[in-house]
Amino acid sequence: MIVYRVGKSRFAHDLSGEGARLFGGRWNYPLTPCIYTSGSRALAILEYSVNVNIHTIPRALSITCIEIPDTGILQLQQADLPGNWKEMPAPFSTREFGTGLLQGPNSPIIEVPSAIVPEEVNYLLNPLHPLHQKCKILSVKDFVYDVRIKMV
C-alpha cells in the first residue's frame, strides 16, 4: 500500500518519527515517535494545511510516497476513538489513546479516520516496531504550496 506525507524537504527522507517525538501530535505525546501519513496526496495536503500558518509555510516542501506493508494494520473506526477525537486543539484523550497504541507491541501501522474528512483515512507509522523496516520511500517530489488553499 502507498501512503503520502507533505513536509519540509529537508525531512522528506526521514522515517524516524523524530518531529512527532519532539513535539507530539493529535495521536501522540512528545517522546513517542510517530510518522503521520495519509491515504492520498490530496488528504496529505489538506492535513498539512490545517496544521500550519500561511506565514510559516516553507518554500522547500516535498510530497513523500511511502510503501507500507498491507499486513499489521490496526484499522480503527470512529466508534473506537475517544468521543472528542476531532476537537481542536487535539485533546489529551487522543494523545493518550494513540500513545498507548504506539507503545504497544501490536501496532506497527494504525489506520485512523481523518479529523477533517472522517470518511478518509490517515496512517500512523510506528518507527519503533520491527515491521517498520519494511516501510520504504518510493519517491520524494518537490511540492509548491498553492497559497489559495489558506486564503480567507
pLDDT in tens, 38-65: 999 999 999 999 989 888 898 899 999 9
pLDDT in tens, 21-37: 999 999 999 999 999 99
Q: Phi-psi bin for 79: left (phi > 0), alpha (psi -120 to 50), beta?
A: alpha
Average pLDDT for 102-126: 95
> What's the total number of domains in the chain?
1
Q: Grid coordinates standing for 73?
A: 494494520
**Alpha-carbon distances of 18 from 1, 31, 34, 79, rounded to whole Å:** 23, 9, 7, 29
> What is the pLDDT averaged over residues 126-141?
95
Residue keyed to cell 522515517: 15
3-state secondary structure of 40: coil
d(CA 121, CA 6): 15
Specify the pTM.
Answer: 0.95
The residue segments making up the domain with residue 100 are 2-149
Query: Residue 146 contacts by C-beta under 8 Å, 6 or more apart in sequence?
Result: none
